[in-house]
């Protein structure tokens, strides 16, 4: 096996990438990663320098691949290590640059090291060694793999990386026939609350459309981009991590994987939420509005997505990071996983002790939040 690092996704052919990765997980699609680079959402002065890792056979066949970036800050990651960087700085050491295997600006669980079906299990150890060597070569503080699948975890931990837990809130389809069937699983108080929220918008004449594929017209797509930028300016004081060029590129290359929920007041579009369609999972990602209305965010970002999942037999709705307010609306506390390797032995040991303590607290938090679920009978979560 030959491991190499590439600073441009286009150095691998789209055909080879698709053959290995497929299209089930939208954020690893060639079109998504290429769109980030072509639009300069990553690269340049963004602090996200592409350094993708690929593993090839002697005859050049792509055996494994990992989205990898050299980071000069910790923005856009959603697994927070600012305190680690501060500790390095307080000891006169540089925490940046660091190597990061993640999907930029996307806290959605998925495979991070994608392997060919006939690829040896040893490839994870080979990749981990290559990451350690690259860390030393670059003078980086270490390497990190974020929001990986639980099934990948054991192999990464065996490479001397340390596990970190997080908690998000995901909706799970329990075979509901429709939205009323979902509500019927709740206790009466929560059921009334959700109906009240939805009826409030209907009474004000707000209507919703769920658009996919060619139903997403250029006009409505431009309207959504305006929502996204205005909302980021209001709450984050910038236009958002993603450039307008990125949205234009995925519109032309990934419309088959997009679900755009649009709220209308009369003929005027006033809010929108962009979701990505995966294999049996819907991923809620970006939202914006030009008019503040009570419950508008819940309906646009959550209830419309739940209805889509029920209608299309999708098993899970990952609506993004954070949000305890999702729990009384049926989103279950769900553990997320990352692994971290720091080259400095003293800091590595200190962080490992911290992560053990943090994991206990995260699992306790998950258990406590589970008690707030609105269902009449609460099943155990993994």
Q: For position 377, what pLDDT does the model report?
A: 63
Residues 149 and 278: beta-carbon distance below 8 Å = no
Distance in angstroms (rounded) separating the CA atoms of residues 72 and 96: 5
Q: Which residues have CB under 8 Å from 85's CB, separation 6+? A: 74, 95, 96
Residues of the chain with pLDDT under 50: 378-382
Q: Which long-range contacts (CB under 8 A, 24 or more apart) does 251-257 make?
A: 251/216, 251/218, 251/221, 253/31, 253/34, 253/35, 254/26, 254/29, 254/31, 254/32, 254/35, 255/212, 255/213, 255/214, 255/216, 256/212, 256/213, 257/23, 257/26, 257/29
Q: Which two tokens stand for residue 368?
A: 């406590």
Distance in angstroms (rounded) separating the CA atoms of residues 346 and 43: 32
Q: For position 381, what pLDDT does the model report?
A: 42
Q: Which two tokens stand for residue 108?
A: 């959605």
User: Domain 2-165+334-370 is in which class?
Assistant: alpha beta
Distance in angstroms (rounded) separating the CA atoms of residues 284 and 261: 10
Q: Say how many C-beta atoms besides its own lie within 10 A of residue 188's C-beta.
A: 10
**Per-residue buried b or exposed e for 314-332, using 16+ beta carbons within 10 Å of the residue's own CB:** bebbbbbbeeeebbebbbb
Q: Which helix (H) or strand (E) holds 342?
A: strand 332-342
Pairing of strands 142-145, 98-101: parallel
Residues 324 and 73: beta-carbon distance below 8 Å = no
Q: For position 1, what pLDDT does the model report?
A: 87
CATH architecture of 174-314: 3-Layer(aba) Sandwich (3.40)
Tell me the domain boundaries of the chain: 2-165+334-370, 174-314
Residues 69 and 51: beta-carbon distance below 8 Å = yes
Q: For position 232, what pLDDT does the model report?
A: 82
Q: For position 237, what pLDDT does the model report?
A: 67
């Amino acid at each position: 096996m030959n491991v190499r690092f590439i600073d441009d996704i286009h150095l691998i052919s789209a055909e080879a990438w698709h053959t290995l990765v497929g299209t089930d997980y939208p954020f690893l699609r060639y079109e998504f990663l290429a769109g980030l680079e072509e639009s300069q959402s990553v690269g340049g002065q963004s602090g996200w320098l592409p350094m993708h890792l690929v593993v090839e056979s002697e005859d050049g066949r792509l055996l494994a691949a990992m989205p990898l970036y050299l980071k000069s800050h910790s923005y856009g990651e959603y697994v927070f290590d600012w305190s680690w960087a501060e500790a390095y700085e307080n000891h006169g050491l540089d925490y940046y640059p660091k190597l990061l295997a993640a999907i930029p600006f996307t806290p959605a669980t998925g495979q991070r090291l994608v392997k060919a079906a006939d690829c040896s299990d040893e490839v994870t150890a080979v990749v981990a060694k290559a990451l350690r060597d690259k860390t030393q070569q670059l003078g980086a503080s270490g390497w990190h793999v974020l929001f990986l699948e639980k099934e990948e975890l054991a192999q990464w931990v065996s490479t001397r990386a340390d596990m970190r837990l997080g908690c998000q809130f995901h909706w799970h389809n329990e075979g509901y026939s429709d939205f009323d069937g979902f509500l019927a699983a709740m206790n009466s108080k929560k059921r009334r609350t959700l109906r009240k929220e939805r009826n409030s918008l209907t009474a004000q004449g707000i209507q919703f459309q769920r658009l996919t594929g060619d139903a997403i017209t250029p006009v409505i797509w431009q309207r959504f981009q305006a929502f996204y930028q205005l909302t980021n300016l209001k709450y984050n004081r910038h236009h958002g991590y993603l450039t307008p060029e990125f949205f234009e590129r995925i519109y032309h290359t990934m419309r088959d994987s997009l679900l755009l929920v649009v709220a209308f007041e009369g003929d005027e579009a006033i809010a929108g939420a962009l979701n990505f369609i995966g294999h049996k999972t819907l991923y809620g990602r970006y939202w914006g509005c030009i008019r503040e209305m009570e419950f508008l965010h819940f309906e646009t970002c959550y209830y419309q997505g739940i209805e889509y999942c029920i209608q299309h037999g999708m098993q899970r709705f990952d609506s993004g990071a954070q949000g305890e307010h999702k729990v009384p609306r049926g989103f279950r506390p769900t553990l997320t996983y990352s692994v971290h390797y720091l080259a400095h032995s003293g800091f590595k040991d200190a962080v490992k002790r911290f992560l053990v303590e943090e994991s206990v607290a995260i699992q306790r938090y998950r258990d406590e939040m589970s008690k707030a679920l609105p269902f009449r009978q609460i099943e155990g979560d993994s």
